[in-house]
Every structure is written in C-alpha cells, then in structure tokens.
Amino acid sequence: MISVKQGIRCLSTSSLRMTNYGFIGLGEMGQHMGRHIYNKLEPDDKLYVYDLEPANTKKFVDTVTEASPANKKLVVPLESISDFVHKVDSQLEFIMTMVPEGKHVKSVVEELVQNYKKCATDISGVSTTFLDSSTVDIPTSIEVHKYVKQQIPDFDFIDTPVSGGVAGARKGTLSFMLSRETHEDMSPSLTSLLSKMGTNIFPCGKNHGTGLAAKLSNNYLLAVTNLAVADSFQLAKSFGLDMKNYAKLVSVSTGKSWASVDNCPIKGAYPKENDLPADRDCHGGFITKLARKDLVLATQSAKSNNRFLFLGEVGKKWYDKACEREDLATKDLSVLYEWLEELSEKDK
C-alpha cells in the first residue's frame, strides 16, 4: 500500500518485509559483496541496488542474474538514492553503503533520512539500519550516526568496515569490524546479513566509531608492511635470489604477512587460481591511492587520540610520492615492488 503526501509516494509500514536489503556503491568491493547477498537471498527477499554510475548498476544486475538466474526476480536496480524510500515494495531493514569517502557517506545518508521524513506514513515504530562498510574518518562517521539518531530515533547507523580486500570480497571471506560490544549486541538479522559476505565478524566496542578505529589500525599496518615487503623483495632481488623461491621462503618464515603472501608482488609465485593482482599487471585489488587514503586517515586519527605513529609520516611520504603517478595510484598496492626498483635505477 502506498501513502501520498504533497505528491510524494511513501511506503506503508503495514507491509514491512524484514528481509529487504539495499546496497549502494557497486565498485571493486561492492559488486562482489552485493553478489554474495544476491546469491543467498531467500525466496521472499529483495535486494535493491544503486551506483552513481548507471552502467555499474546495469553491469551488476546483468552479471549476477546471468550467473544465477534463479534469483533474477529478487534483485531490483534503482535510479536514485530517493528510490530506496519511494520505489521499493516495503521499508528496507538494511541499507548498506560502500562508497569512497566520508563526504559521500554523509551525503547518501542525509538524502535517505530526508526522504524518509517526507513520508506521510508514521515510521517511528519501524527501524531501518544504515550499514557503512566504507573506510572513512571517524569524526564524520560519528557525526552521521548522531544525525540519524536525532532525525529518526528508531533508525540506526553502524560503522561496519571490512578487511580482506577485493580478493576477500570476491571469495566472500571478508572480516567485518563494527561498533558493537559483543556478538549478543547484534541482532540475528544483522549477523545473517554480514555472514552472507564474510567469514569473520568482530564486535569492537560499544561506542560508535570503534569499528573504524579497528579498521584504520589494521590498514595502517597493511600500508607500512606492504612498503616493507616491496623493499625486502627488492633487497633479495639485488642479491640475485630466485624471487619465486624467496616468496615461498617468506611465506613460511618470520617475514610472513598478508602483503608478502596473499598479495605477493612476484608474478607467477603462486598458482593462477590464486588470482593475485601481480599476475594481472597489478590491476584490480586494493589500489595504491586507497591505501594512501587509509594511511592518512590513520595518522590523523592517531593525532586526535594523542598517539604518535612512528612509521606514519615515513610511510605517507612514499605513498604520496607514488600517488603522484596515476599509473601507480590506480593499480594494486603491490605495484610498489616494481616502483622501488625504478627508483633504485634512477639513483644509480
């Protein structure tokens, strides 16, 4: 049933379907996360999707429905943010965002909230939860959380950033970090949704922003270890070592890390089915400029927390320099291995 107020179509809460999902942002990560939700929909579920680029929305729908045609009627492409309020069968239980920056999260959520408030239907007794899996600055996320609770108290906004990169999103093995104190503080429906996309769910604390705090701390470690891996592998290469053999040695030694194994920068070091960015000329994956963004956010957050990061400025210096080149900035961060060799050749 549809209610009308001043020409605005709004949903009646009487037909609430508790398994309606919304997903906004179908980029490198979002397309795979959305795909796993789609593949695990129940017959009464619906998944509504949107990306700022209409071509991305169409590509997503075409791809998932061709691969799994059984759920074709359960996915609905939308043309705008407001459509998540006015052009769905019933109010959505969850709307998930995976967008580039805090300003985009803020803009999307504000538009959603304002459209909900325009509805003639009383939505005070029905909750929609916004889940943001983007990696953004903590102050903006806290601001958006407060905004939602002030505007529509029964609604919620939770930071649910992820770790695992594009490979984890593709395989459905992401780790979710969120601002909940324990697993018992998470609703079964929230746990079910996150479990469709990942294998690990980590409640990080009761205060909003703790999920992002964990994410930024983790990605700070990723950024600096990736730089160290590139340096270490170039050192090994300068000694004339067989690089595939060295990569395997590291994988079972004390230097082992995600950057050295799961995202190894050596072409052909692992079987093709591992689908590492290094075997695709560093295309796809977690691009360098996003690693830089997370490093910057981590150092900024550390300062606001009166914490000095000993490798923060050093790491930022090299990521800044790498991102001066578009070909490096838009490739997987394992490209720094090849880049350090270029820098070394220039210094000779």
Judge whether 41 and 47 are in contact, CB under 8 Å: yes
pLDDT value at residue 1: 31
Hey, what amino acid is at 319?
Y
- Provide the pLDDT for residue 23: 98
Bridge partners, 9 (sequence order): 4
Mean pLDDT along residues 115-135? 83
pLDDT for residue 346 = 77
**Token digits for 206?**
């009761």
CATH architecture for the domain at 20-207:
3-Layer(aba) Sandwich (3.40)
Domain with CATH 1.10.1040.10 in the chain: 214-342
Q: Exposed/middle/buried for 326, CB within 10 Å: 0-12, 13-18, 19+?
A: exposed
Q: Is the pLDDT of residue 265 over 60?
A: yes
Q: Report the range of poorest mean pLDDT among 104-108, 211-215, 303-307.
A: 303-307
**In this predicted structure, what is the pLDDT of residue 134?**
96
pLDDT at 126: 66
**Gap between the terminal Cα atoms of the chain:** 73
How far is residue 102's CA from residue 38's CA, in Å, rounded to a whole number?
Answer: 26
What's the CA gap between 79 and 83, in Å, rounded?
Answer: 7
Whether 125 has a pLDDT exceeding 80, the answer reads no
What is the average per-residue pLDDT within 249-260? 97
pLDDT of residue 14 exceeding 90: no
298, 219 in Cβ contact below 8 A? yes
What is the percentage of the chain residues whose pLDDT exceeds 70? 92
Quote the pLDDT of residue 210: 98
The model's pTM: 0.89
**CATH code for the part of the protein at 214-342:** 1.10.1040.10
Residue 274 exposed, middle or buried by CB count within 10 Å (0-12, 13-18, 19+):
middle
